[in-house]
Structure 1
Amino acid sequence: MRSAAQYVRMSTEHQQYSPQNQSDVIQKFAATHDMAIVTTYDDHGRSGLNLAGRTGLQQLLKDVESGEAKFTELLVYDVSRWGRFQDADESAYYEYVLKRAGITVHYCGEQFANDGSVASALMKTLKRTMAGEYSRELSVKVFAGQCRLIELGFRQGGPAGYGLRRQLLDRDGKEKGLLIRGERKSLQTDRVVLVPGPEAEVSIVRELFSRFVTQERSEKDLAESLNARGILSDLRRPWTRASIHQILTNPKYVGDNVYNRRSFKLKMKRLVNPPEMWVRKDDAFQPIVSLELFLQARKLIEARHIHLTDEELLDRLRTLLNRCGRLSGFLIDEADDMPSSSIYAARFGGLHRAYELIGWSGKRDFSYIEINRILRDRHRDLVGSITAQLCANGAEVSSDEHCPLLTVNSEIKISLVLARCRQTLAGSQRWHIRLESALDPDITIAVRLAPGNESVQDYYLFPRIDILRSRLSLAPNNGVCLDLYRFDSLDYLYRLMKRVPLRDVA
């Protein structure tokens, strides 16, 4: 019998695409065509719009291109399971990668054989285009439905924000309770509105608007004042100038429901939309501050918006350099007399380019920018891989875009940190790990990258109860006190997180 692998993918579309249904069809196809399935690649809860986060497909391509694949056939339910790429050529390319390695792709649920004939090529092209078009049409319908709900006064996605809470309503408009951070509605017919939060938070919001308008206190001054009083933001973090500015400019605090200020459709480029594209419903929620006070705050903020020429921007940058002796994006954003760092990045093609134009290098190697980008991509991929594996083992995993923690089974918080391999002047290897102690995770997964930082070398699983330091410096060998937590894979973690049914021991 020929050795075969199966690839199954399910996003959140229809029950017909459940992994079990796909696998049943694939198993029947394999039995009929004298094939034995030796390997399974799966992506559960993953969109087919791009390759990001699809660890199953990524591993499949890696095994094929490295020559480690132990099969000659790949079985897929249908063309759309391979992907709903907006460019049909992308799906064709991945199939070509397998074909080049001598592996034949079979679409078990399709009505045509993938035999390389003209008819087969035409059908695949049509199916790939239809798969991408399905996502585009669905995006339009979902967006229209969301806009309709906004106009009816219901909240669409995102955390409530400081001083507000999300109130869950049933289909008849009756209150069902407040949703805490990370919780979502369980019924499609339920709706969410914003309501005032605890009185202490509401008072702080009103105080911020009042002091900004009547006392002309800057956002930076207001943030420092709250931090000095030990008051944390809704993310349980210290306040910054940007977080204060976000409150002062957000119309939800006067009860207005505004949507589509930013868009990220079909996982393409993230856009900031002009006001004429916004969808809004005025007086949708109970306001926290008066409209008059909000408009006064907005007027003061808009008065600061002046267009500066390139030379004027650079002059202000020189002034900040003379005042502080150094430059950084944080210093630029926190200075009241400076435009935001994003203005400099957009106008001059990056902050380091703006620094060069005023003759300041800071004696720094800006290659770290590219290194950090690569690390962010690898961190995102690892989070997706770990989430998929935990779900495959029966665990429930949730996350919040505003908090870099994974919550497993609604009980355990997991933090993932990457440590790249560095070489000391003496030629030895070191990994510097900064634990997210402020987020208070129950378990920290410290991933050590191998020399060259192209692949993962090993993992350290640090429980909160045992680690007292926020920073660690690891060598290749660290003694039993630290290497006790070292693992070559995360299989132990997956077994630890697996749900086990309780049995009656009586």
Structure 2
Amino acid sequence: MVQHEGLRAAQYLRMSTDVQDLSLGVQEQAIRQYAEQRGIHLVAKYEDEGRSGLTLKQRRGMQRLLRDVMGEGCPFELILVYDVSRWGRFKDTDESAYYEFHCRLNGVQVRYVNEPFSTEESPINALIKSFKRAMAAEYSRELGIKVRAGQDRAIDLGFHMGNLPAIGLRRMAVAKDPGRTRVLQTGERKAGPSEHIKWIPGPPSEVALVQRIFQLYGYTSMHMPDIVNLLNSEGIRSKDGQPFTETMVRHILDCESFIGNFVWSKRCEGNQRRRTETDPMFRRTIGTIEPIIDRETWDRVQTKRFWKKGVFRSKPQLLAHLRAALLENPSVTVKELPSLACGARTTFTKLFGSMEAAFRLAGRDYAAVHARRVQRQLRGWRVTRAIVHDLEALFTSHGIKWMRPRRQHLFVFANGTRVRIQLMWKLLHQGCAQWHLSKHVWSGPCDHFLIARMNQDETAQDFLLISRAVYRSSPPWSWEHLPQFVVQIHNAAELLSAVRSVIETDPAGPRS
């Protein structure tokens, strides 16, 4: 018999749910009684409350225990666990044995206080322990089958589970008694087994926002980064008060719940591999949620999403597509390649080393491209100088005092406010003409930007007056849908009014 008296021990406690009969208190009481009977001193406690024993990934307590066992100066020689199932219900029983052997290899023994086998390391005890590990794994497997059957039944009856998208939907608890329903708030759970969860449309403002996101993506040239920048520049937040990200928008655009369908178990639990729709574990129920997006809009969005994902092509195929694009437009830019089905920058860089190498192999004439770029710059400078000259005359004739630093398209008004003049042209991007805002790294400070949106005949369609902060957070493409806090100006009177307002309300402040 192994002697334990005087040894220091750590206790490890785990339970899967907060309604489990074998609570942490029951386990701790049994371990403490075992230790007192054998003169063992409990010096540390590790616990995983509400954590499954199938994997180690979410069990912070056991992870910390294993790290402490490996560390220098481990303060205990024993680990006391209630039974084999509390150590883990790993599907692979070798995994459970591995963690125990890992502790023993570092001089720490693992003892199960409520198991029939003794503490002696003998073949019969090893056999019983292996059998108990297999029983723990089989219990989880059978329980998983029963839980899955219950989930499938609930889904077939029109109930739902899982995480909601960032906006647009809410959870409603439906009781077994007819007519008893209540909307659950974030973090609120259903009362118990007598209630089921249904998904319903959220507040009208969120429904309208979801519809707007689908409209912007499906019926305009905007893409996810543009939509994210637009929403955040307008101060719009998710239902949790968080700013929007591309991941949020992507999940919204891919969520079938907005057209009334519920999709469940799209990924495997262990390796998170995406299941195919032919997998028997993949489930889709049609028409169990009130739709807020029409089918035509959904199909349009999914077509665009599929087109954006692209397909795999070999190096010769990529070069052939790139040559065809160069024949159509010799000065095509890297940003335009995905819209022409040529591939993304990362694809060409990975296969050819750089975009320049790919363009040269495809036969690009860099001299002609450079000449075209210089011609475009010269046109921009000429048009900007003409606009600045007209603004000088306009401000002077209406008594607005100003000065301009030499060789800069910048107005400095009497109160110190600085307004820079910039042009915005429509260029080919993602297969269509879009407004492009060229963001330069300016050497001097600036408070506001007066942006002229130019027609191809070199006349200004209108002007936009935006602050430095809005300028920095704005996307470079797709300005058809103007963010909030952007002043749109159509004539000289509106321009004078906007400039005077800026001068009066924006005293000289910090510059950057």
Give the TM-score of the pair, scaled to structure 2.
0.57
Query: Judging changes above 3 Å, is the alpha-carbon distance between structure 1 residues 217 and 126 closer, same or farther for their aligned structure 2 residues?
Result: same
Quick check: which has more Rg, 1 or 2?
2
Q: Secondary structure, in 3 states, of the residue corresponding to 1:74?
A: strand
Match of 2:149 among 123, 144, 152: 144
Contact 1:25 1:108 in 2 (8 A): yes
**C-alpha separation in 2, matches of 1:221 and 1:38:** 56
Give the equivalent residue in structure 2 for 1:257.
Answer: 262
Give the equivalent residue in structure 1 for 2:275.
Answer: 273
Query: Judging changes above 3 Å, is the alpha-carbon distance between structure 1 residues 336 and 4 closer, same or farther for their aligned structure 2 residues?
Result: farther
Deviations along 1:443-500, whole A, 9 cap, x unmatched? xxxxxxxxxxxxxxxxxxxxxxxxxxxxxxxxxxxxxxxxxxxxxxxxxxxxxxxxxx
Query: Judging changes above 3 Å, is the alpha-carbon distance between structure 1 residues 150 and 354 closer, same or farther for their aligned structure 2 residues?
Result: farther
Give the equivalent residue in structure 2 for 1:309.
Answer: 313
The answer to whether 1:58 aligns with 2:58 is: no
Query: Judging changes above 3 Å, is the alpha-carbon distance between structure 1 residues 288 and 339 closer, same or farther for their aligned structure 2 residues?
Result: farther
Give the equivalent residue in structure 1 for 2:293.
Answer: 289
Query: Judging changes above 3 Å, is the alpha-carbon distance between structure 1 residues 204 and 63 closer, same or farther for their aligned structure 2 residues?
Result: closer
Contact 1:171 1:189 in 2 (8 A): yes
**C-alpha separation in 2, matches of 1:62 and 1:316:** 53
User: How many angstroms does 1:113 deviate by?
Assistant: 1.0
Query: Judging changes above 3 Å, is the alpha-carbon distance between structure 1 residues 143 and 180 closer, same or farther for their aligned structure 2 residues?
Result: same
User: How many angstroms does 1:99 deviate by?
Assistant: 2.8
Deviations along 1:76-115, whole A, 9 cap, x unmatched? 1111111222222222222223333444332111112131
Q: Which moved more, 1:196-205 or 1:46-55?
A: 46-55
1:105-144 maps to which residues of 2 (within 5 A)? 105-144=110-149
**C-alpha separation in 2, matches of 1:172 and 1:155:** 18
Query: Judging changes above 3 Å, is the alpha-carbon distance between structure 1 residues 306 and 62 closer, same or farther for their aligned structure 2 residues?
Result: closer
Contact 2:7 2:39 in 1 (8 A): no
Which amino acid counterpart does residue 63 of structure 1 have in structure 2? Answer: D
Q: Secondary structure, in 3 states, of the residue corresponding to 1:17?
A: coil
Match of 2:6 among 2, 6, 16: 2
Contact 1:76 1:107 in 2 (8 A): yes
Match of 2:164 among 147, 151, 159: 159
Which amino acid counterpart does residue 276 of structure 1 have in structure 2? Answer: T
Q: Secondary structure, in 3 states, of the residue corresponding to 1:37?
A: strand
Deviations along 1:139-169, whole A, 9 cap, x unmatched? 2322222222111111111024422222222
The answer to whether 1:39 aligns with 2:44 is: yes
Contact 1:314 1:358 in 2 (8 A): no
**C-alpha separation in 2, matches of 1:227 and 1:72:** 55
**C-alpha separation in 1, matches of 2:223 and 2:182:** 37
Q: Secondary structure, in 3 states, of the residue corresponding to 2:278?
A: helix
Count of equivalent residues? 343
**C-alpha separation in 1, matches of 2:332 and 2:34:** 72
Deviations along 1:359-396, whole A, 9 cap, x unmatched? 1499xxxxxxxxxxxxxxxxxxxxxxxxxxxxxxxxxx
Match of 2:352 among 358, 361, 369: 358
Query: Judging changes above 3 Å, is the alpha-carbon distance between structure 1 residues 354 and 83 closer, same or farther for their aligned structure 2 residues?
Result: farther
Deviations along 1:15-63, whole A, 9 cap, x unmatched? 3421111122222222333333333232222322233343433333333
**C-alpha separation in 2, matches of 1:93 and 1:178:** 46
Q: Secondary structure, in 3 states, of the residue corresponding to 2:57?
A: coil
The answer to whether 1:203 aligns with 2:205 is: no
Give the equivalent residue in structure 1 for 2:428.
Answer: none
Q: Secondary structure, in 3 states, of the residue corresponding to 1:7?
A: strand
Q: CA RMSD in A?
A: 3.8
**C-alpha separation in 2, matches of 1:282 and 1:114:** 56
Which amino acid counterpart does residue 154 of structure 1 have in structure 2? Answer: F
Query: Judging changes above 3 Å, is the alpha-carbon distance between structure 1 residues 128 and 253 closer, same or farther for their aligned structure 2 residues?
Result: same
**C-alpha separation in 2, matches of 1:302 and 1:225:** 23
Query: Judging changes above 3 Å, is the alpha-carbon distance between structure 1 residues 33 and 233 closer, same or farther for their aligned structure 2 residues?
Result: closer
Query: Judging changes above 3 Å, is the alpha-carbon distance between structure 1 residues 314 and 284 closer, same or farther for their aligned structure 2 residues?
Result: farther
Give the TM-score of the pair, scaled to structure 1.
0.58
User: How many angstroms does 1:123 deviate by?
Assistant: 0.6
**C-alpha separation in 1, matches of 2:247 and 2:78:** 54
Q: Which moved more, 1:153-162 or 1:36-45?
A: 36-45
Query: Judging changes above 3 Å, is the alpha-carbon distance between structure 1 residues 296 and 175 closer, same or farther for their aligned structure 2 residues?
Result: farther
Q: Secondary structure, in 3 states, of the residue corresponding to 1:106?
A: strand
Unaligned runs of 5+ in 2: 326-330, 357-512
**C-alpha separation in 1, matches of 2:141 and 2:308:** 40
Q: Secondary structure, in 3 states, of the residue corresponding to 1:166?
A: strand
The answer to whether 1:25 aligns with 2:27 is: no
1:170-181 maps to which residues of 2 (within 5 A)? 170-181=175-186
